Amino acid sequence: MNKRKQPARGSGKCPVTFALDIFGDKWSLIILRDIVFKGKRHYGEFLNSAEKISTNILASRLAKLESEAVIVKTRDTQNLSRFVYSLADKGRDLLPLLLDMIEWSVKYDPQPDASGPVISGAPDRLLERLHEDRDALIAEIITGMEERNQ
């Protein structure tokens, strides 16, 4: 009897567990960060992120995130040999969480990168605006992201 095999903890259970099963791994949120803040859309761009994800893991995460409908994979009309990865609604709705995460890290990282925006690629005054007009800020980031996808 194989009692080792654990079922996925996901759907129908606790919302925290549900979320963790989808993006609670070492790389998924990094990829989303790259899409949202760095404007990345292509395989090679993700490969080049500072954290150096390896190609097999990248492929597997993109596939999983696509299968979970967090991102969408479409053929690049400018270059048929590659795809464009962009956020689906389900991925866009992770932006508040991503912002909370950034805010928390900025508050507690003892060695912050002092210069420039709190996360490279993000609008200036990100955290201030997060409190002043949270929803507007989120809308603006999403709009900016979509404009790049034209």
Partner DNA sequence: CTGTATCCTTAGGGATACTG
Partner DNA sequence: CAGTATCCCTAAGGATACAG
Contact set with DNA (CB under 7 A): 2-6, 25-27, 42-45, 47, 52-59, 61, 63, 79, 81-83
Closest to its own copies by CB, 12 vs 150, is 12
Compute the distance between CA of residue 125 and CA of residue 127 in angstroms, rounded to an integer.
Answer: 6
CA dist., res. 74 & res. 60, Å (int): 17
> Exactly one of 17, 64, 83, 123 binds its own copies (CB under 8 A); which one?
17
Residues in 27-56 at the binding interface with its own copies, rule: CB under 8 A: 29-30, 33, 50-51
Give the total of residues touching its own copies (CB under 8 A): 42
Contact 68, 10 (CB under 8 A): no
| Contact assessment for residue 38 and residue 120, using Cβ atoms and an 8 Å cutoff | yes
Helix H or strand E encompassing 47: helix 43-47
Considering only 57-65, 74-82, 103-111, 140-148, which stretch makes contact with its own copies by CB under 8 A? Answer: 103-111
- Please select the residue that binds its own copies; options are 35, 71, 98, 145, rule is CB under 8 A: 98
| Dist. CA 27–CA 30, nearest whole Å | 5
Which of 3, 56, 77, 110 lies at the binding interface for its own copies (CB under 8 A)? 110
Q: To the nearest 10°, the Cα dihedral for 88, 102, 16, 84?
A: 20
Q: Which of 117, 139, 135, 137 is nearest to 38 (CA)?
A: 117
Q: How far is the CB of 65 from DNA (least distance, A)?
A: 12
Interacting residues with its own copies (CB under 8 A): 9, 11-20, 24-26, 29-30, 33, 50-51, 90, 93-94, 96-98, 100-113, 118-120
